[in-house]
Structure 1
Amino acid sequence: MTVFGGIYSGKKVLVTGHTGFKGSWLTAWLLSLGAEVAGYSLDVPTSPANFEVLELGRRITHIQGDIRDRAALTKAVQDFAPDAIFHLAAQALVRESYREPAYTIEANAMGTLNVMEAVRLTPSVQALVLITSDKAYRNDEWVWGYRETDHLGGEDPYSASKGCAEIIAHSYMQSFFGNGPRSATTRAGNVIGGGDWAADRIVPDCARAWAKGEPVSIRSPWATRPWQHVLEPLSGYLWLGAKLLENAQGPFPLDKQAFNFGPAADVNNPVAEVVDALAAYWSGFSSEMDRSGCAGMKECTLLKLCCDKALSHLQWRAAMPFAETIRFTAEWYRAYYREQADMFAFTMAQIAEYTEKARAQDIAWTR
């Protein structure tokens, strides 16, 4: 049985930020769908890195370039002539945005501008999916989920950069993409899964520390997040991209829209619970609770998304409960650190298992 309508088989797809955590998982999934993939990224952001662990560099067209370099990006897009583009390249850390605010805004806001300009000048592109963040919303610390029509922006440089990216993208869509390509923006957050080694994230911090037999320091143990496995929003991005590709000609109501992709409304667990759940798969762990906070760095303690629009228009919903999200994540790291497994094969097996879980629930993209 095919997934995503079989639309990606034989298609040329370019992924910006393909060396990052989400980008590398998306690249692997596109390969499993039969796509010809090219990636555009400045560098490999961490060591180790999922991109290198999965040996994606030899499986795709790997282009090293800066998203801030409009001429280089445009040339790369025109040379590859993709049917579809997924834009993920970004400076993705809130705390880093305080250390490097100008770079964060240049990469996230002006980088998005450069992608839109490259697409405007490349006739081959039929579909464009831009991935921003749940932090594109101005966080008013309310208890209900943010909808796609709520205010954008935020107090920290990262949130501001993502709000700007959304505004720039929709300006280009309305001004230049009237007759194509089909395009949309997407917002998701608090994604976890194997292969993430970014700094200042609780799951990579646990994996690094426990693999060395060291305790992990938890800076905000009681902060709650709507955790989801990386494959959950990626299924939404791929399904939205497939619908845009299917309707590359003629009127289409999903064109030029924004979509949230998040877990079920009842998934909202504190950081300490995530650590305890991961520890069940990792014997001999220890942790240290840091109650001091991060002086001068405002980071939201509560941010949820309302995903009713994705459910209504795409019949998309998350497929895994919190316990399965933790199991998938812990088993990936255990396979890497303790079993020295073939991680490309292991990752493909997790994609297949996740697909079967979604199919058992008759989620639309699996039909």
Structure 2
Amino acid sequence: MTPLTVDEAFWRGRRVFLTGHTGFKGAWLALWLTRMGADVTGFSLPAESPSLFDQARVAELVTHVEGDIRDLAAVEAAMQAAQPEVVLHLAAQPLVRLSYSTPVETFATNVQGTVHVLDACRRIAGLKAIVAITSDKCYENRETNRPYREDDAMGGHDPYSASKGATELVVSTYRRSFFSDGATKVASVRAGNVIGGGDWATDRLIPDLVRAMIAGEKPLIRSPDSIRPWQHVLEALGGYLMIAEHLFHGREWAATGWNFGPAEADARPVRWIAQHMTQAWGAPGWDQPDGPQPHEAKLLKLDCTKAHAELGWRPAYTLDTALTRIVEWHRHVADGGDARAISLAQLDDYRDRFRRALSQKGAA
């Protein structure tokens, strides 16, 4: 049985194909994988500016291939060149509000792009594990207080959420149609609202807060009463890596859908996050924008009982600690500090805490 932690020896020298490595989550995952000695090929669109990818100089650590997952030939060529043993598919159009103005691009990237990645995987002889990252927003959200379980219905009000629900159906179809009897195992993973240093995306709460605070302005908070399952990005990534290891070792029970989210107490309203971030930074509070806003779910929680029980996975950070790390990261970089150095220091701190959290569970 694989130990109840991320097995760093397993990843040393392991050939990994990582899509979306220029994005926020992908850059953090590339840092973690290369820190363990993995041989990472990243396939993604060029990084936007600013980005963790550029600030932490991730391109120096991986085989960096620029390409679009909507281009099957490009995906196939890069994957054939890399000959991966593990594929981690993160590339996506990740923003709810952007999906209202770019629905065609959102569906093409998130749904057809996933088809391209999975289809290219069919022709890699030594491939053992595929982890497709979707979203907690893949569920048909009825905005009740009951957290969503892995067997709940897929759905989505906005184009982004619907595209992630459809992506889950694609993953399930490929798992059952093409990977059910072979050596390659496929899982999908659904994380809560991930936060962390180096996220610069437009229309996300933490980046919007950081940009305003650096500029000395009051942030504008759209939906202060919306509740989300907030968690540090490294919490989700640790779960992804654990799943990949189990898939590689041929464990059929791991080839399914998985939720990774925070403790129930850390599913907090937006206003709570805004208050804690502005206080930690010493910023002068926040305001709400005028006028109607596009629909976004007001309540969303994840049930992570399955990951707790079957993987032994559990969060290593409280939400307070996660917010402290974000402020530390952005203050360090804003003051001229090295982004890779602070990222690796935070990664090493998290890995130690993660090992301790999981080993305590394993000994219980």
- 8 Å CA contact 1:39–1:61 kept in 2: the answer is yes
Give the Cα–Cα distance (whole angstroms) in 2 for the partners of residues 358 and 3 of structure 1.
7
CA–CA distance in 1 between the matches of 2:118 and 2:14? 20
8 A contact 1:221–1:290 mirrored in 2:
no
Structure 1 letter corresponding to 2:53: F
Q: CA deviation at 1:30?
A: 0.3
Counterpart of 1:327 in structure 2 is 324
- The answer for unaligned runs of 5 or more in structure 2 is none
Deviating more after overlay: 265-274 vs 85-94: 265-274
Q: 1:317 aligns with which of 314, 322, 345?
A: 314
Hey, which bits of structure 1, 4+ residues long, moved more than 6 A?
A: 364-367
Provide the rounded CA distance (Å) in 1 between the counterparts of 2:165 and 2:13. Answer: 34
Whether contact under 8 Å (1:226, 1:263) holds in the other structure is: yes
Tell me the equivalent position of 2:253. 253
Q: Determine the structure 2 residue equivalent to 1:76.
A: 78
1:305 equivalent in alignment to 2:307: no
Measured on the aligned residues, the alpha-carbon RMSD in Å equals 1.8
Q: Which residue does 2:144 correspond to in 1?
A: 142
1:65 paired residue among 64, 67, 86: 67
The alignment of Structure 1 onto Structure 2 pairs a total of residues equal to 359
Comparing 164-173 with 281-290, greater Cα deviation is found at: 281-290
State the alpha-carbon separation in 2 of the partners of residues 300 and 286 from structure 1.
Answer: 24
Contact 1:227 1:269 in 2 (8 A): yes
Structure 1 regions of 5+ residues with no counterpart? none
Query: Using the alignment, how far apart are the partners of 1:180 and 1:364 within structure 2?
Result: 32
Partners of 2:312 and 2:358 within 8 A in 1: no
Counterpart mapping for 1:175-190 below 5 A: 175-177=177-179, 178-190=181-193
SS at match of 1:281: helix
Do the aligned residues in 1 keep the contact of 2:14 with 2:39 (CA within 8 Å)? Answer: yes
Corresponding residue SS for 1:227: strand
Whether the 8 Å contact between 1:3 and 1:366 is mirrored in structure 2 is no
1:347 aligns with 2:313: no
> Which residue in the other structure is 1:237 paired with?
240
* 1:151 corresponds to: 153
Identity of aligned residues (%): 42
Aligned-partner Cα distance in 2 for 1:366–1:201: 35
Secondary structure of 1:71's aligned partner: helix
Superposition pairs of residues 193-208 of structure 1, within 5 angstroms: 193-208=196-211
**Helix, strand or coil: the match of 2:253?**
coil
Q: In 1, Cα distance between the equivalents of 2:334 and 2:284?
A: 14
Matched, 1:211 2:218: no
Query: Cα deviations across residues 257-302 of structure 1 (Å, max 9, x unaligned)?
Result: 00000001121211111111112331244421236440xx221011
Scaled by the length of structure 1, the TM-score of the pair is: 0.94
Q: Following TM superposition, by how much is the alpha carbon of 1:189 offset from its aligned partner in structure 2, in angstroms?
A: 2.3
**In the alignment, what sits opposite 1:281?**
280
Residue 38 (structure 1) aligned with residue 38 (structure 2)? no
User: How many angstroms does 1:366 deviate by?
Assistant: 9.8
Q: For 1:170 and 1:2, locate their aligned partners in 2 and report how far apart those are by CA, in whole Å.
A: 26
The residue identity in structure 1 corresponding to 2:211 is R
Q: Would the alpha carbon gap of residues 185 and 284 (structure 1) be closer, same or farther in structure 2, given more than 3 Å must change?
A: closer
Which structure 2 residues correspond to residues 215-230 of structure 1 after superposition, within 5 A? 215-230=218-233
